[in-house]
Structure 1
């Protein structure tokens, strides 16, 4: 039990750190007009928002599960819908960000046209529409098999409670694999095309080289996010074998495939992007200056 306490505390510390970082990045995003009028930064903000929501919801469910609290099944369905939606928003947005880098490097003359503010808003709508499809499919299979009285019952909120029959798992797995293949093919295609441009430039085009590295980081982050989609199926299989093994693997999956991908976005754009990094450093210095001034006023 003590080790479990330590695990919960570690998760709380990591979640608080990542949410604070995300909030700082969101504040930086809105601090300059250039950021919220440029497509890649707009998409970056979308990932920050979805990552923050999924961190908060997953942490709430973790705490409720740890203290054995129950909630109304209807409310749990709402949590589940938001959770699944945000789970897909991040990888779909990463795929869109990769396509934006492909357009910027391979089609530079059309970049301003294809990646305008208006197209950015359309992209956000498309991203959330595509992300809602798995959610609609999974919830529809649940509604089709659940009784009306179930929604008023109080149970421990878990993602496993939405699967009654084996065919529901098959449908869920099929949808996840379909999305995985489409996004993986898009990432690979973009990488190959950008690599061609980088080779044609004989390694002198810094923009192509940096874009290639960004796509690789997106691919790694996307891989972690997509592995997360397979985790529930692995955990269900392990639960039938060994309870303690199931607990250990579930904790490892949460740290590796839910928390870890959410800390890569600050690395990719918060630190690697020169313009965003400068604005971020300025905001941090400004924040420290304000805190220092308030402390001095307090002492006086």
Structure 2
């Protein structure tokens, strides 16, 4: 009897392991398919931007392209970190830390870029005569430089802590490429929480302020036809995307609710809390814009014509 029960138990464990593996592979396959579609859309949008002289001279398009590039960097490095973590593949710590450093920095860029885009729309609607004075390409490049500097500061402090608190051989070891591999003290987590709380509170206030000001202008004129109403919609979409970015910090709650599905939890967190907010950026901004929409239709029409049987 014991032999039979042991065999049944082993079979049950094997079936459970096979089921978990199948679920993991299914989710990973769907994720990779989503990445391929996303990269194609990004390639089309960025090619439109870099081949259009009008887009390269417009501040809002420059900020849009910057957001796309930052999201692309974030997703590429996150995908590498995710796959190596899932399959427990160790790499040299120094190499992994560069991956984590770039991933963490580019993650912090998105909210600040949304704030700058909201301010640009605010100036365009509320101070149209001074828009060209305030929103120049030179000032936009300066704003982008400041954004990256702010994004780098918490990671530089993290690097200093690692150098001070670890031995000289730490970066010569082999570790899993995840942020957890480089947590050596609670101070690092505190810095991360403070940095994110400050970022989202500041950006949230900026978006709320610009939305209220823009909609006040929209209500003074014909709401349906005014550019102010369109700008208000755009800023509202910025707010929605900011909320989606904040979803990443609710992953702990999801882990508690879905603790029975431990095998797929990392994949769910990666797909819905890290990738989804970035996936919708091209859809929200690219397809809504007339310039990009016309070029996208042209690209899709040309590709359909090439593959059309003669």
Identify whether the pair has TM-score above 0.5, normalized to the shorter chain.
Answer: yes
8 Å Cα contact 2:211/2:236 also seen in 1: yes
Q: 1:62 aligns with which of 71, 78, 82?
A: 82
Please name the residue that 2:25 is paired with: 5
Please name the residue that 2:230 is paired with: 210
Q: TM-score, normalised by structure 2?
A: 0.86
Change (3 A) 1:3 1:238: closer
State whether structure 2 residue 89 is matched by structure 1 residue 47.
no
- C-alpha deviation, 1:109, in angstroms: 0.7
- C-alpha deviation, 1:249, in angstroms: 4.1
**Structure 1: which 5+ runs fail to align?**
none
Quick one: distance in 1 between partners of 2:286 and 2:245?
A: 19
Quick one: distance in 2 between partners of 1:141 and 1:173?
A: 16
Instruction: Show the 5 A alignment for 1:8-23.
Output: 8-23=28-43
Quick one: distance in 2 between partners of 1:101 and 1:257?
A: 27
8 Å Cα contact 2:92/2:171 also seen in 1: yes
Please name the residue that 2:240 is paired with: 220
8 Å Cα contact 1:70/1:155 also seen in 2: yes
Please name the residue that 2:13 is paired with: none
State whether structure 2 residue 171 is matched by structure 1 residue 155.
no
Quick one: distance in 1 between partners of 2:23 and 2:307?
A: 39
Please name the residue that 1:103 is paired with: 123
Deviations 1:39-80 (A, max 9, x none): 100011111111111111111122222322110111011001
Quick one: distance in 2 between partners of 1:244 and 1:54?
A: 29
- C-alpha deviation, 1:252, in angstroms: 2.5
State whether structure 2 residue 210 is matched by structure 1 residue 194.
no
- C-alpha deviation, 1:168, in angstroms: 2.3
Please name the residue that 1:123 is paired with: 143
Q: 2:290 aligns with which of 246, 250, 274?
A: 274
Please name the residue that 1:256 is paired with: 272
Deviations 1:108-135 (A, max 9, x none): 1111111122222212212211221222
Quick one: distance in 2 between partners of 1:50 and 1:247?
A: 30
- C-alpha deviation, 1:203, in angstroms: 1.7
Quick one: distance in 2 between partners of 1:200 and 1:252?
A: 45
- C-alpha deviation, 1:166, in angstroms: 2.2
State whether structure 2 residue 143 is matched by structure 1 residue 143.
no
8 Å Cα contact 2:111/2:200 also seen in 1: no
Quick one: distance in 2 between partners of 1:280 and 1:189?
A: 33
8 Å Cα contact 1:12/1:59 also seen in 2: no
- C-alpha deviation, 1:157, in angstroms: 1.3
Change (3 A) 1:140 1:245: farther
**Structure 2: which 5+ runs fail to align?**
1-20
Change (3 A) 1:74 1:286: same
Please name the residue that 2:108 is paired with: 88
- C-alpha deviation, 1:263, in angstroms: 2.0
- C-alpha deviation, 1:253, in angstroms: 2.5
Q: 1:28 aligns with which of 39, 48, 53?
A: 48
Quick one: distance in 1 between partners of 2:238 and 2:50?
A: 23
- The range that moved more, 127-136 or 5-14, is 127-136
